[in-house]
Copies of this chain bind each other. A is one copy, B any other.
Amino acid sequence: MTIDVLKANDLTETLQRQVSDLYRQLNADNKQRPLNEILAPSNNVLVIICKIENTIVATALLSTYKVISGYRGMVDDVVVDAAHRGKGIGRKLMERLLNEAKNMDLDEILLFTGHHRKPAKALYESLGFELRNSGLYNLKIH
């Protein structure tokens, strides 16, 4: 098992297909943004992947931006292949993501997760994340 930060140069059709198939487990209906857009230099997003025997079995993304209140990282698209859960892969991905965030000198990392997702919440809390007394609101444009 290897955990790496995906670079634009690493991108192949096979890799894109593996990520698409994996992400479909999380949400079969949602439109996906392709990795070449995500890895464009103008988009400040780290893509962390876990590979087992040359197949991508998990992803976690960290988007970074500076606002007045700090240099923030937002975690999205944390997915572990259903066939590989319970092996600590989510924790390893998140530990790598936190190391990258520290090296980038971020002030704070944010994430949101459904109130019903107990294993995810337990993982994030064990890594030091704290539930804030805030509600998350969204507005779909498309």
- Partner-B contacts on A (CB < 8 A): 19, 23, 27, 30-33, 35, 37-38, 40, 42-45, 59, 61, 63, 65-72, 74, 76-77, 98, 101-102, 105-116, 121, 124-125, 127-142
Contact = CB atoms under 8 A, between A and B. Distances in A.
A65 B74 contact: yes
A64 to B, nearest CB: 8
B32 A68 contact: yes
Given A105-B142, A131-B137, 19 more contacts: A23-B69, A31-B70, A31-B107, A32-B69, A33-B67, A33-B68, A33-B71, A38-B67, A43-B65, A44-B44, A61-B67, A110-B136, A110-B137, A110-B138, A112-B132, A121-B135, A124-B137, A127-B139, A130-B139
B66 A77 contact: no
15 contacts: A30-B70, A33-B70, A35-B68, A38-B66, A65-B65, A106-B142, A108-B140, A109-B141, A112-B137, A124-B137, A127-B139, A129-B137, A130-B139, A134-B136, A136-B136
A6 B40 CA distance: 25
Contacts of A40: 66
Copies in the complex: 2
A75 to B, nearest CB: 9
A119 to B, nearest CB: 14
